[in-house]
Structure 1
Amino acid sequence: MKRYAVYRTSAAPASRKLGSIGLAVAATAFLAKRFGLIDADVFVLSLMVAAVIALGALALAFYAFNRIWARGGPGVPAALTGTVFGLLALGPPALVVGILILRPGAHDLSTDAAQPPEIKLRAIAEDQPFLAWFDDALEQHVWPAFTGAAQDGRLQADRQPARFADIVSRRYRISTAQLHAAGAKALEGLNWQVVDELPPDLLDAATRLQAEGSSQLLGLETDVVLRIRPDPVGALLDVRARSRTPLKDLTGNADHIRSVFAEIDRVLLETYGDLSRLAVDESQVEEEELQPEPAVEPRETIPLPGFKPFFEEEDAPVADGPDQTDLEG
């Protein structure tokens, strides 16, 4: 009996090998960035390389399936393995791109847009030239094709109040020193390291706190500043969060500011109990400023003295004895 040669495709094992390499590159880049072993530029470049390798593995797998369907022969398990590895390798790059599209956020966000709190220790974005160029190219050329409008810095700043309506300054009916202590306790509860501090000299003196925070997924570092100033109500709190890289994560600067407010509320609730006595609404402040409480209660009539005043004159008679008065003639 004559036996024919079995067709064997070389694309299937090549797909499996390329897929495993792409998955290894993507996983290594992800873990290295999470633990701070590489910077954002190397991370993005590694993900791009992993994505290219993964696409090559998927292309070889589809070619192998086509050849096996046409000519038969082994190779289906290897092609399936290459497909799975390629899809897994595309996961981290797709996640990063999805975050860039679905979660547009400001790199520098503050509750006071006019006069934001000062950040002393800054990491300049120019230290990551490739990522800065890549992010600028996305905002200028790629995303406008999907949204239909260019999003420059001024337009993004104009949309900021509508997108972050809850990112506003807060007032508390406590002294600045008490709010400073609550802010320090809140940063400690968030596991953020305080790198700069202006402690209060007096109970109503202005203070500030600066801490280094990190995102949960990629460990991206963010500078968070708390500025506390005296206010007619008690203390005014402004929070600013600035990313050290254009790369975004699942948690952005808006979420960092919300986390600070929530943690401060938790600390104040544990310390003072009734939080409604401490937090002050903007409308309440305007009413108090427009209608100040009087120092004394208003009177319906003009007050009169309780005695009749008497003025002694030089020509008035002087009493000669203890039984006489100056009114007797």
Structure 2
Amino acid sequence: MPNRVYISFLRLPLLVRILMIALLVFLSFGISIHFLEPDTFPTIFDGIWWAIITASTVGYGDYVPHSFLGRLTALILILFGVAFVSSYFGTLAAAAVTKQDALHEGKIPFKGSGHIIIIGWNERSKELIHHLTNINNQQMIVLIDESLEANPVKSRFVHFIQGKGHVDNTIMKSDIENAEKVLITADRGNDELQADMNSILTLLTIKGLCAQVKCIVEILTAEQVVNARRAGADEVIQSNKLTSVFMINSLHSKGDGLLLNVIHQLQENRFSSYPIHQANVGRNFREVGLDLMNEGLLLIGLRRGDETILNPPHSFEMEENDQLLTFK
């Protein structure tokens, strides 16, 4: 039985063990001094108070032993007690620094809910995180990347996890089950096909651990869009296709950068969608649009199932389950 207790004691964290030994020392010396000099230390609490104050090197002087045995006890307490107190606070400080370093290096798991997980550190994710951390309703972001050695963003709203996105242990550290959304960015440092394969593998890992979480994945090659949807992607972003749209617009425009200005407006969260009100079901596009204009919203289209309809005819009738697309 004593051996089992000793083994259990050794399994405790070092900080807890030192604290328990220090408390045992305070209790032992506090009780001892009470029995050695009951007139000077009338209660056991007075003895314990004196032991803690003496061992912590404060030494108020409100209780002072007068006998030889009492002073000898005080000397032993100072030799042993100060050592344990110093060890405790030294270990506490070292543990705090170690944990802070581990947090900065991405070794500490995240605990929370409603957060956004972004996988991959690149110019797109950098810009996105900068935007998300500078809006009014800031949301916790968990950044996962294997190439970084430390958190690249100095914000209390960004938690960094170092590791590969297609490894179960790495994803579990992000508290995936309580996440709101996951964004998987493509690694443009690899071949485009290989980058897409890595993104889809990461997607499969996430969906295998938590099928209900919404996943947005960036795909570079058009051929892999179907595979990404088969793997469970809720939304696929074809970044190369979007880039070609900008290039075509620049070639055919007069250098006014109109499309870039529109995208800049979208970055300010002025574009939104929401379900149609029951009162608007059966009304036409023009009628609903005029009502929304009175609220300061510009109706530009709607989503019906998987189809997005922009600027439909004025007589176009609204149906139940339509999602209105507005611009503020």
Interval of TM-score (by shorter of Structure 1 and Structure 2): under 0.3
| TM-score (norm: length of structure 1) | 0.25
Q: Which one scores higher on RCO, CA 8 angstroms, separation ≥ 6?
A: 1
When Rg is computed on C-alpha atoms for both structures, the one with the higher figure is 1
